[in-house]
Chains A and B, each alone.
Chain A
Amino acid sequence: MPSRLAWPLGLALAGAALVALPHLLSFSQQEIAVFLLINILLVASYRLLTLTGEWSLGHVVIMGVGGYASALFAKLAGVPVPLAMVLGAGTAAAVAYVLSFPLFRMKGFYFLIGSFAAGEVIRLLWIKFRIFGGPKGLKLIPPFPDLGPIAFFDPTNYYYLCLVVVGASLALLYRIEHSRIGLTFHAVHWRDQLAESVGVDTRSYRTLAFVVASFFAGVSGALLAHYIGTVNPNRFDVAQMVFVLIWVIVGGTATFLGPILGVVTLTIINEIVLRQLGTDELRPLFYGGILIAAMLFLPGGLESLGPKLVGLFGRRRASAPLEPGPPVKSRGYEPS
């Protein structure tokens, strides 16, 4: 088979499998599939942010901003839900833009801690002010309106809605990464001084990546809010952020598919293996162990297994299955 056809064919097969998927699952598994799609968008948007080299600890809170804003637009202002979701995502992007002014004065550890603090402040505002519903959060968020006979409280139908929205968002994120802008993101990460010397304003590219990533995190938050009908501050706390970090790191960040691979693999393990064991409280033990194991023994993440397996079992073809990412020297920054 000519390798030109491999990609479209693979995408078509994957698409067909994704369309068929909910019909192979039980009701509760269909719900998990919905959450999985939402989380895929979350980690893919997180990766766009990491392209410029900054690791935020506020991404899940930004997702929550999208959820809260979309819920409030729909609930208090009576905006139709699809429009409210777009406005919610826009609010997340706007909040990120405002936060970028203090946050991008920092780099490295300081950015990490600064983003954590900014996220905690937003969460505390949700807890403090009654318009956000306090510690119990917002309830009775209007659901996505029915489309003729298609009712979206049914997880299968909401799954298809998410599939369309997440699929379109991923396509956009992929286009952005492979555009001139995306290449500049890479340059800002790996050679920021060189990029500056040829006239790239690294600060504004960092801001752009942060705002765009936050917009798509906001989309994922809005999808979540109108499905489960309630948002509360605990749903977007630092423990959730830790899960995002684990998905991204276990999957790997060098390629577009890495974080998605991470969240899919760990969700399947979580639902199949850990649900059987029936120990909800010991789940962090597994996640902590796998995070440490990934850092110590598989620093490239799951995505690095693909080329390794190809190297072991077949001769390496010119068109490797994974696109060549930037050279992975270390996971973090190189202190300048």
Chain B
Amino acid sequence: MLELLLQTGVNAVYAASYMALVAVGLVLIFGVMGVINFAHGELYMLGAYTVVYVYADQHLPFPLAVAAGLIFVGLLGIAMEHALFRPMRANPLGGLIVSIGMLLILQAAIVAGFGVRMEHIPPPHQSAVPLFGLAGVTIPLQRLITIGAAVVLLGGLWLFLKRSRFGRALRACAQDAEAAALQGISLNQTARMAMFIGAALAGVAGALTAPLVRTYPYMGHPVIVTAFIVIIVGGMGSLEGAIVAAILYAFVSTFVTTFWDGVIADIVGLLLMLLVLVVRPHGLFGKPERA
């Protein structure tokens, strides 16, 4: 029993790591630009398909494929910001609606390029690492790498936001875009940067987990549902909240799935989100005035 509990806990930490990558990107985009990017799950999906193309089809090294996913999806984010979100800046719901259009286009593009079938990606690492000295508790190396990458990337983002000049500009925009613009901060530049980072994090999450999950064109849907739950529970616009909520949700979801079943876990997650929306609409870490 102890082994099962520990193993489930280890699985939850892995789930939390990539959920946090996706959700933090979504929160960053919302915080700086005020846009809920409905296509965020599709950015995750594109990251996974970059691995399909670069690693599984072209047989290039896996780390290179992950880097390609980061850069490609990040650049796509910049393009989306420029072509879609910038013209919609005056319309609070407009950004969300055009991102729904983008979601449909990205899915159809992948279907056209790869077909609707599930992709087979040969695992880059076969080995599993034993943990806590118990035979029943292991973690596949690929999952361990995902956790490590998430910690490094999110730590790097935190340093960037808190220490660098540009990070301060981003945070200023998130607090009050108008006041930031009056201080000479370029809204276009910060929006571009936020969109690059947010999209790239989703792309990296997709690339790292591609060999571990079912990779198919509609894989973004459960991811965006999860990310919504996480950002609502954590508080929209709060990066720390997104990380804490990702861990909380991953543990609840993984344990309910293991000891009950997956559909119940989804229902519990959504009810958790509705509860937070009703009781504390600005989330666990959000501030009411940004609601």
Contacts and interface: CB of A to CB of B under 8 A. Distances in A.
Interface in A107-121: 108-110, 112-114, 116-118, 120-121
Contacts of A299: 91
Contact of B277 (A105, A288, A330): A105
Interface stretch (A75-83, A122-130, A168-176): A122-130
Nearest to A249: B97
Contacts of A110: 232, 277, 281, 291
A137 B103 CA distance: 27
A296 B87 contact: yes
Interface in B219-244: 221, 225, 228-229, 232, 236
Interface residues of A, number: 44
A121 B274 contact: yes
Given A109-B236, A295-B98, A281 B281 contact: no
Nearest to A118: B274
A246 B38 CA distance: 14
Given A109-B236, A295-B101, A296-B87, A333 B108 contact: no
Interface in B254-273: 263-264, 266-267, 270-271, 273
Nearest to B272: A117
Interface string A129-163: 00000000000000000000000000000000000
What secondary structure prevails in chain B residues at the interface with A?
helix
15 contacts: A102-B274, A106-B278, A110-B281, A112-B96, A113-B277, A238-B221, A242-B104, A245-B97, A282-B112, A284-B107, A288-B103, A295-B88, A330-B91, A331-B97, A334-B92
Given A113-B36, A292-B98, 20 more contacts: A102-B278, A109-B92, A109-B96, A113-B228, A113-B232, A117-B229, A118-B270, A124-B266, A124-B270, A127-B263, A238-B221, A284-B108, A285-B104, A285-B105, A287-B101, A288-B100, A288-B108, A295-B94, A296-B84, A296-B88
Interface of B: 36, 84, 87-88, 90-94, 96-98, 100-105, 107-109, 111-112, 116, 221, 225, 228-229, 232, 236, 263-264, 266-267, 270-271, 273-274, 277-278, 281, 291
